[in-house]
Amino acid sequence: MEVSGTFDLIVQGRCASFDEYSENMERIRSHIAKFATRVEANFVSKTIERAQDDDILWLPCQDGHRQVQAQMIDKIEAEGDYMRVHLGDWNCLLHDTMHRLAERLGTESFIKLHRSSLVRIGFIERLVHHDQRWSARLRDGTYVRVAKSHVAHVLQLITGKSAVTSGHLSNSVPAYVP
């Protein structure tokens, strides 16, 4: 294998002190040196939290499986017995149920707009009310219809206000515009 150019190798770990960091770097320095021409033991004080294993999905890709953090997923759409998972311009088909994916991703970051669509809340650009129906305009320009049974929950979650007045949906709830 030939590699040209300059590349960085980043080793991540958590240490209680700088002395422990130095000790651990000394222990792995010879192993890293097999792959690198220069080894620098820089101490970076910025803490980067690693995602919990619960926040990670393994998705099928062309040559195997790809590890994806849940917050990177934009939306999931049902396609028969499969779920199409969208991450930016990339998407894949996953053989799973919407219910199981919704449980796995949690309700803090994702919302079910319809029985066949699950969307990351931050991916919703606006809610639009037209012809007595609600739709969500997503950041990719697509629209997803909000099921009547989900409207109250969606509006409450997005706007932080109750959309129900005396058991009926309030007509005075405006479209959400960030």
- The confidence score (pLDDT) of residue 20 equals 80
Q: Report the pLDDT value the prediction gives residue 28, as an integer from 0 to 100.
A: 79
Average pLDDT, the chain: 76
Contact 118, 129 (CB under 8 A): no
Domain coordinates of the chain in residue numbers?
A: 1-50, 53-169
pLDDT in the model for residue 54 = 62
Distance CA 95, CA 18 (A): 46
pLDDT of 40 reads 52
Q: Which ranges of the chain have pLDDT less than 70?
A: 1-13, 34-54, 161-178
CATH of 53-169 given 3.40.50.720, 3.40.50.1820, 3.30.70.1050, 2.40.50.1020: 2.40.50.1020
Structure confidence at residue 136 (pLDDT) = 92
Phi-psi region of 13 (alpha: psi -120 to 50; beta: other; left: phi over 0): beta
Predicted confidence at residue 6, as pLDDT, reads 56
Which pLDDT belongs to residue 7? 56
The Cβ of residue 146 has, within 10 Å, a number of other Cβ atoms equal to 25
3-state secondary structure 148-160: HHHHHHHHHHHHC
